[in-house]
Amino acid sequence: MKQVYNFSAGPAMLPKSVLEKAQAELLDFNGSGMSVMELSHRSKWFIDVIEAAEANLRNLMAIPDHYHVLFLQGGASQQFAMAPMNLMVKNKKADYVMTGSWSKKAYKEAQNFGEVRIVGEDTNNQIPTLTKDMFDPNADYVHITTNNTIEGTAFSELPDTGDVPIVADMSSNILSTPIDVTKFGLIYAGAQKNIGPAGLTIVIIRDDLVGQAPDSVPTMLNYQTHVKNKSSFNTPPTYSIYIAKLVFDWLLELGGLEEMEKLNRTKADLLYQALDQSQIFTAPIKAEYRSLMNVPFVSVNGDQELEAKFIAEAKQEGLETLKGHRSVGGMRASIYNAMPLAGVEKLVDFIKKFEENNR
């Protein structure tokens, strides 16, 4: 089989050992004689899987007991509506920090459910400076996007919002570094970037924020439904949960999120350094706002032909999916947890070789 490193922004690479384990267990899970895909979500076999997935995630992220962990569907995009439907209920207002395309979508959706205010907007892809006095103390929550997948920017520290809970879209950097869960009211993430296959959405929600939704909220969109039924009110995405559990096992074996962060910093430093030294490519994001996960870069002259050539030749080398998002162009290397150091090293070598041949 051809060795490929996939730099896709999502669905993204999974650790090879996870895929091998899934392959080995594909036809016969745990002596059941059945595939995980075929097991009832009410069977002891599957209940063991979902319980282990939750226990592992709690362990990895040090999630306290007064937070619930939910395994849902609908993607992060469904959380854009579900969060306001459940949380924007006391004073019916919320503050949204605008740092990119995904924050904009979250903001737009929230406007359907209350009075939504923009607080801090990125200009030229800089994370805005946020001070406590900028936030409305009567807002039901403050929404942020911790990592901006398309722009390649990330928060390096959390804003101080006082007693107002922070709701965070962590789709593209959850599990990449340790975080203090108690600083958040609600965390959500689509799985397909740093957790597992598409079709699964992780929600981590503080206990006091559950159960406030009005009766008009549909059953499936009420967090309380999923808390009460341990994410199995209806059929959950069983196979995606199983793979996520294997990814959590892999992270624990690696030494947890401290170790993961070290590796992620090594990978990102290597790539940014190569781009900063390059004469033909540049990483446009200022150092203090750079994402560890998504690294956009462009040709210094805006030469689209050169960019297309780079992407095509990289593909020949087994460096897949380096094309930038359609809204920003250029290139983007997504280097999530599962991207091995060897993949980034190969990309860096290729950038240097390409530069020698195309100066």
Residue from 255, 261, 252 nearest 56 by CA: 252
Nearer to ligand PLP, 170 or 319 (CB): 170
Could you say which of 169, 245, 267, 323 is catalytic? 169
Q: Which residues pair with 6 in a beta bridge?
A: 320
Measured in whole angstroms, the distance separating CA 210 from the mean position of its chain's CA atoms is 23
- What minimum distance in Å lies between the beta carbon of 30 and ligand PLP? 29
Q: What is the binding site for ligand PLP (CB under 6 A)? A: 10, 75-77, 102, 145, 149, 169, 171-172, 190, 193
Q: Which long-range contacts (CB under 8 A, 24 or more apart) does 89-94 make?
A: 89/140, 89/212, 89/213, 89/214, 90/140, 90/212, 91/138, 91/139, 91/140, 92/140, 93/117, 93/136, 93/138, 93/139, 93/140, 94/139, 94/140, 94/141, 94/142, 94/143, 94/167
Residue 45: active-site member: no
**What's 208's DSSP letter?**
G
State the binding site for L-glutamate: 42
Rounded to a whole number of angstroms, the minimum distance from the CB of residue 170 to ligand PLP is 8
Q: Which of 48, 136, 163, 193 is catalytic?
A: 193
Q: Is 207 a catalytic residue?
A: no
Of the pair 161, 192, the CB lying nearest ligand PLP is at 192
Q: Which is nearer to ligand PLP, 34 or 328 (CB)?
A: 328
Closest distance of CB 10 from ligand PLP, Å: 5
Give the type of residue at 5: Y
And the tokens for 333?
């290397």
Q: Which is nearer to ligand PLP, 125 or 149 (CB)?
A: 149
102 is catalytic: yes
Catalytic residue among 2, 28, 95, 102: 102
**What minimum distance in Å lies between the beta carbon of 148 and ligand PLP?**
7
Tell me the binding residues. 42, 76-77, 102, 149, 169, 192, 234-235
Nearest to 76 by CA among 191, 165, 174: 191
Q: Convert 343-355 to b/e letters by CB count within 10 Å (16 or more is b).
A: bbebbbebbeebb
> Minimum distance between the CB of residue 171 and ligand PLP, rounded to whole angstroms?
4
State the Cα torsion 153-155-156-160 to the nearest 10°: 160
Determine contact, residues 145/85, Cβ cutoff 8 Å: no
Nearer to ligand PLP, 72 or 210 (CB): 72
Structural contact between residues 260 and 251, judged by C-beta atoms closer than 8 angstroms: yes
Catalytic sites, residue numbers: 102, 169, 193
